[in-house]
Structure 1
Amino acid sequence: GDPKERAEHLMLLDLGRNDVGRVAEVGSVKVTESFAVERFSHVMHISSNVDGSLREGLDALDALIAGFPAGTLSGAPKVRAMEIIEELEPTRRNIYAGCIGYFAANGTMDTCIGLRTALVKDGTMYVQAGAGIVADSDPEFEHEECRQKARALFRAAEEAVRFAAGKNGANN
């Protein structure tokens, strides 16, 4: 794989281990899968999993807070990266990069990061996309990556409008 992508992922994997370590029992943090490639229609991702046993007295919400915002969407060091995001991004992220999920009565939760999402307000669809920026990033490549990610949402919206209008071929 691309050395830049691997180096970026390794940095984020370390950040994930640190986040889990903030709420896990000492010695329980483990990387259970690393550098797996996941393929989707418009993009490929490198994926790793970090597990840890939650410390006594902590719950699912503590675990969520420890890892939020995700380093994959903020950067490292996390606090400084978030300050830079606040300074440079012209609009707030809203649902993009936020948390979507549920907490069950038994204390479990299932959440995901709000990516590939759109907000429709007053007849206008708003889409946000991002890319991992590191010292040797190619700005043109990163910009095109963002365009590809956003393009998938616009295509999905166009298809939904066609379907709703009965132009999907099934009703004709």
Structure 2
Amino acid sequence: KAVWDTYVSEHNLDQLFFTGEVTESTATDNIPLVDAALKQHPDVQAIFAPYDEITKGVVQAVIQNNLQDSVKVYGIDISNADIEVITADGSPWVATSATDPAAVGAAVVRALALSLAGESDETEVQFPAVTITQQFLLDEGVTNVAALREVEPGLQLGDFLTADWLPAVSQ
């Protein structure tokens, strides 16, 4: 939230609403929340959703209000299902920032190994995210995360948190 507040302030953005919740059925349960917010704020131009399941609900609410040509959706996370939604014809989801869960998992194991070996005293690690646009996915013909890994080297963390004695791990 602090990063978001700073970004909004630095870019002189007007945040018209804040809604959403994580539930047993996050995507479905967020559709009516976003629907109501869109009806209250018909001039909204973009929606940022900080979790892909919320983003899926946002996309559905935007589409059911026939606003996909005027409201752009930005999210976080990537999965095969997300790629399907992002690349669907007319989708308002134009960009997402993400890491590759498999690459992060491998890097976490390397971080633990380095710590146990006494070669690292890091207590916190931040993994670099990559912004992936709808246009990039369409241009590259990406239909799943495996294909995305091949065309977006920023997702691969093989050089992150490593040592000569740690074996290379491919995803």
- Shared fold (TM-score greater than 0.5)? no
Considering fraction of residues, name the structure with more strand.
1
- Coarse TM-score class (shorter-chain normalised): under 0.3
TM-score, scaled to structure 1: 0.24
Considering fraction of residues, name the structure with more helix.
2
TM-score, scaled to structure 2: 0.24
